[in-house]
């Protein structure tokens, strides 16, 4: 089988923070960005979701060299004035992060968008600016490889030879345009990496196993009814 051409996008940032939306009123951090966040970052590069093909999918790996906890002013939105007072809460953050995504379609469009993004590139909060570089790579289809730092769907068959198949997390895959609906899915991710072998959609030239995640376009959240 001939290798498939793909666009590899490497995003780096000194600081990033991904709040877990499952905890209302609390600032609990995630160890990796949800697919919806990565999808939003890609949409920002082309300026609007209207220019993103609805069934765009990507594979991703994520690493952080450090972590910490900051203090942040929290301004609750409430109809009752007594509950609107600003308070100070902990905010988890990650340092020296590297997000790598692989796209297998619309390569020319994404390559041009990353090189000259419409909106400033950031990952997570709007102040967490990031930089990115791209390169064309060749992926081998339907092979087995190490999970490493890949974010993968929970439905991926686990490696029976190890219990280190990553932390199970419920993450937002897509959020509707009006933010009224969220499509949630269950994923697995090992922040320290894992040698677990998985049957992958693709394997990189260095052996990293990749599995395409569900589409992050907002129409998929809105379609849930």
- What pLDDT is recorded for position 163? 79
In a domain, 96, yes or no: yes
In a domain, 140, yes or no: yes
In a domain, 45, yes or no: yes
Contact 96, 65 (CB under 8 A): yes
DSSP state of 122: B
- Structural domain count, the chain: 1
Summarised one tens digit per residue, pLDDT across range 106-135 is 999 999 999 999 999 999 888 889 999 999
**Alpha carbon of residue 73 to chain centroid:** 25
Residue with tokens 């959609």: 201
DSSP state of 213: P
In a domain, 201, yes or no: yes
Distance CA 205, CA 108 (A): 21
In a domain, 149, yes or no: yes
List the CATH number of the domain containing 164: 3.30.70.3120
Q: Which residues in the chain land under pLDDT 70?
A: 1-2, 25-26, 82, 225
In a domain, 80, yes or no: no
In a domain, 83, yes or no: no
Q: What are the CB-based long-range contacts (under 8 Å, 24+) for 108-117? A: 109/46, 110/7, 110/9, 110/42, 110/45, 110/134, 111/7, 111/136, 113/42, 113/45, 113/46, 114/9, 114/45, 117/44, 117/45
Q: pTM (2 decimals)?
A: 0.90
In a domain, 82, yes or no: no
Query: By residue range, what is the domain housing residue 191?
Result: 3-75+88-223
């Amino acid at each position: 089988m001939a290798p498939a051409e793909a666009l590899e996008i490497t995003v780096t940032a000194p600081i990033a923070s991904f709040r877990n939306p499952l905890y209302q009123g609390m600032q609990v951090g995630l160890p990796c960005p949800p697919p919806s966040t990565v999808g939003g970052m890609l949409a920002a590069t082309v300026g609007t979701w209207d220019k993103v093909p609805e069934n765009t999918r990507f594979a991703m790996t994520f690493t952080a060299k450090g972590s910490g906890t900051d203090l942040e002013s929290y301004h609750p939105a409430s109809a009752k004035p007594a509950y609107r007072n600003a308070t100070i809460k902990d905010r988890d953050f990650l340092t020296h992060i590297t997000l790598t995504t692989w796209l297998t379609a619309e390569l020319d469009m994404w390559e041009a968008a990353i090189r000259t993004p419409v909106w400033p590139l950031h990952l997570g909060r709007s102040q967490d600016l990031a930089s990115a570089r791209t390169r064309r790579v060749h992926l081998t289809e339907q092979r087995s490889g190490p999970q490493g730092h890949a974010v993968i769907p929970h439905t991926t068959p686990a490696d029976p030879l190890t219990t280190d198949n990553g932390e199970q997390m419920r993450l937002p895959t897509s959020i509707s345009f009006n933010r009224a609906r969220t499509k949630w899915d269950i994923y697995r991710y090992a922040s320290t990496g894992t040698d677990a072998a998985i049957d992958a959609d693709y394997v990189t030239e260095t052996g990293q196993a990749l599995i395409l995640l569900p589409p992050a376009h907002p129409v998929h959240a809105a379609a849930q009814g």
